[in-house]
Structure 1
Amino acid sequence: MTLSLLEEEALGFVRDLIRIDSVNTGDLKTIGDGETRAARFVQSLLEEVGIETSFVEPVAGRGSVIARLRGTDPDAGALIVHAHLDVVPVDAADWTHPPFGAEIADGLLYGRGAVDMKNYAGVILAVARHFARSGIRPRRDLIFAFLADEESGGVWGASWLVDNRPELFAGATEAISEVGGFSVPLVEGRRAYLLATAEKGVGGLRLTARGEAGHASRPLPSDPVPQLAGAVARIGAHRFPVVRTPALARFLEVFGAARGVTFTDENLDAELEDLGFVGRVIAAAARNTAAPTVLRAGDKSNIIPGSAEAIVDYRALPDGEDDLLAEVARLAGETVEVESLRSMHPIASPIDGPFIDAISAALTAEDPDGVVVPYLLPASTDNKHFARLGVHGYGFVPLRVPDDFDVYGQFHSADECVPVESLYFSARVTAGIFTTA
């Protein structure tokens, strides 16, 4: 197989970026300068081919770089193409390949960031250089954003830029990034490529039960721990109803028609299990969820504490946040206080339109039997921050992988890896999307 320069650079840049340790611990005291080094690396390669850049570093070590390629249609809304340069921490003892070694073994590239998401950062860097070298002008402006701090909520990356440097994204109407684009089995011999058109909102709640501290020899059902335990048990056992959002409805329609299956709300979890690992992702996106994750009470066994506390993580569907919060308050009961800690609201973008058509055309040019299928991401990306600018966000990092390769399962895992051939495919499809989108 003879590789194009685009494909060669895509693989090379992904490996180079993996070798830059840009772990985001969430603590400014321990993060180091990895994100800035990665951003400077990207900046140098963009400027090498004549692309002007803006380097932004709100605090030391949290560098991002933005570049705009002008399109041929000045009336077309710009497309934000973004990838984060930070990665989650690693425990090297859990890895069989060095997490920052970018080793290739048996056709797989190993390293932290191989799918989350230095793969896309390397690919879009290669595509930007390919366009600049070849004189290719996209139809619309492309705003390439290589961002810091996504793994800790984008505080010093996308969120800071939206609040403080919105002019860098002037005219943008849509954005493309993680988490989607990877292939999953549709039917024998055919693949579906998931397109994230919506994201659940993410939030936290503090539940607090109060009472009188006292000796453990005189317990009462109204003591804080029993109160809190009852609330936590009710919330943990509750199953919210299935909601057929536009993304879920389209996914079930496409997979149902291809497989000759009629999906029902009553048995949806069991029916989705038949789809394998992709079914579990879709099941997580089919309803609101609230999961108790932290419990705190007392520190001595013979003392009844005066208060007990739990933290609940919730994931809300688009237009479902108010219903979720009301239901959690009801389940907690009148004697347990419920306090909101933080939230990132859900987002949703159209599941049809010219941009979706351009993605599908570029995909089928490389995989004629492939089909792009919308889904709702049960997690968060930097698209939530760009939504504050009125930008519709999509998740599509094209990767054609073997049917048994669970791309979603690679996120934050030990021995994170991606097939090398998938990176070549990603570069070709991504270039096709940007050319015509």
Structure 2
Amino acid sequence: MSSAVEEEAVELAADLIRIDTTNTGDPDTVVGEREAAEYVAAKLTEVGYEIEMVESGAARRDNVFARLPGADPERGALLVHGHLDVVPADPSEWSVHPFSGAIQDGYLWGRGAVDMKDMVGMMLAVARRFKRDGITPPRDLVFAFLADEEAGGKYGSQWLADNRPDLFEGCTEAVGEVGGFSLTLTDKQGDPARLYLIETAEKGMAWMRLRARGRAGHGSFVHEDNAVTNLTEAVARLGRHRFPLVLTDTVREFMAVVGEVTGIEFDEKDLDGTLAKLGPLSRIIGATVRDTANPTMLNAGYKANVIPSSAEAVIDCRVVPGRQDAFEREVDELLGPDVTREWVTLLPALETTFDGDLVQAMADALTSEDPDARTVPYMLSGGTDAKAFEEKLGMRCFGFAPLRLPPDLDFASLFHGVDERVPVDSLRFGARVLDRFLRGC
């Protein structure tokens, strides 16, 4: 692959960052998705793709699809997907403007640099190269550039899977975020060892609204039926609760490889103590060995001296595969009789096995660029568009957005964080790996 494609991946990602595609979760205040989709569509049509641009359930929530025929039309097609929206960013908190797409100090800076306009830039650069150079992949490739991932995909992947399944015709497997990035550990001999984490599982995403009702009254009276008190007590119980440890096959395999490489023995009777030995890595594993329920929003009252008749809270719940029913029973016990709940968003957990030709193609592409690479499955504590593609369209989904990262970079903290950035060399590496992978998938 020519170095021009690597540089184009960087340029395309920077251009996309400069298009503000902030997704607030409120359809009335979302911006930029159409502009980003039009940019992508122009870059694809420029090299000869026939694209389909689809509005997904609301105005200006646009998605772009392009299909590249493969050598064997009898094989299932591979979906390569990325989202165009980003979470909000406050420029006053950043070292550079979050929508500058600045390249400095060896990094590409801006909102979306790792989530996930870096991967979209790679996808677009490789798709353009294949078309421009007449490269025929082994199987059909469907490139999808999607809206609304950051709010659960209601106006993106979920709507498309429900209303336009024809766009995914023949797709049996999919790759997208968040995986393929390197994690450098210290091995038993004290030398650096690079693992590349392939996402094979995701926790379920369950955003829950709680409501408590009581008797309205004057703020100066003794009041035993206060909705705010009832709600906040329940929220505090839930927020402080530690759900039980659950080790899935994915997490066990991940921990086994880490133990083999580092010599750390994982004691399931004291898993918290073992995880503490892993330093920053403990954040990645720790979020995937139990359910979580984190209070994120509160709303009650309208005047200082009026006791309101109702109060609400929103809880961000993430559920380990296979735990949804047990999780709900546990939550109901914690909330008690005075608080009701409803799901704002309820998307399933996912888990697939770490085997097969596609997994081998990922490993081969990585080792071709990094001979010391070792692939390992892991579970993502968040969620991606893969939820729609597996649950509704039956695809086998993986996170594979390849990056070779500096050993000291706290990559996890950059997702949705201040000063989000990606090393330029990592982007170049990713473009080379993605090119190899899609020629060998």
1:174-193 alignment runs, 5 A limit: 174-187=173-186, 188-193=191-196
User: Shift in Å at residue 290 of structure 1?
Assistant: 1.5
**2-structure distance, mates of 1:292, 1:102:** 33
1:36-185 matches, cutoff 5 A: 36-58=34-56, 59-185=58-184
| 1:221–1:270 Cα change, 3 Å | farther
Alignment partner of 1:417 is 2:432? no
Counterpart mapping for 1:247-258 below 5 A: 247-258=250-261
Does the aligned pair in 2 maintain the 1:219–1:304 contact within 8 Å? no
Distance, in Å, in 1 between the alignment partners of 2:146 and 2:354 is 26
1:276 partner letter: G
> So what's the TM-score if we normalise by structure 2?
0.92
2:28 matches 1:24? no
CA distance 1:328–1:132, change in 2 (3 Å): same
In 1, the alpha carbon distance for the partners of 2:352 and 2:220 equals 57
Q: State the alpha-carbon separation in 2 of the partners of residues 25 and 212 from structure 1.
A: 34
Contact 2:152–2:345 at 8 Å: present in 1 too? no
Q: How far apart, CA to CA, are the structure 2 residues paired with 1:76 and 1:35?
A: 32
1:266, distance to aligned residue in structure 2 (A): 3.6
TM-score where L is the length of structure 1: 0.93
Per mean C-alpha deviation after superposition, the further-off stretch among 336-345 and 321-330 is 336-345
Secondary structure of the equivalent of 1:252?
helix
Distance 1:54 1:244, change over 3 A: same
Which of 400, 403, 411 lines up with 2:404 in the alignment?
400
Larger deviation, residues 154-163 vs 362-371: 154-163
1:242–1:265 contact (8 Å) kept in structure 2: no
- For residues 181-260 of structure 1, what are the structure 2 equivalents within 5 Å? 181-187=180-186, 188-214=191-217, 219=222, 223-260=226-263
Give a deviation string over 1:56-79, Cα, whole Å, max 9, x none.
124442221101111112221111
Counterpart of 2:50, as a letter, is E
Calculate percent identity across the aligned residue pairs. Answer: 50
Q: Structure 1 residue 341 and structure 2 residue 344: aligned?
A: yes
Given the alignment, which residue of 432, 437, 440 partners 1:436? 440
Deviation of the 1:23 alpha carbon: 2.1
1:167 Cα offset (Å): 0.7
Question: Counterpart amino acid of 1:71?
Answer: G
Q: How many residues align?
A: 435
Name 1:391's counterpart in structure 2.
395
- Pick closer, same or farther for the CA change 1:266–1:228 going to 2, 3 Å: farther
**1:351 matches 2:354:** yes
- 2:265 and 2:274 in contact (8 A); partners too: no
Unmatched tracts of structure 1, length 5 or more: none
The answer for the alignment partner of 2:297 in structure 1 is 294
CA 380–132 in structure 1, closer or farther in 2 if over 3 Å, else same: same
> Per-residue deviation at 1:218?
6.0
Compute the displacement of 1:239 (Å).
0.9
Cα deviations across residues 275-331 of structure 1 (Å, max 9, x unaligned)?
232320211111111223333444556555444443322111111111101000011
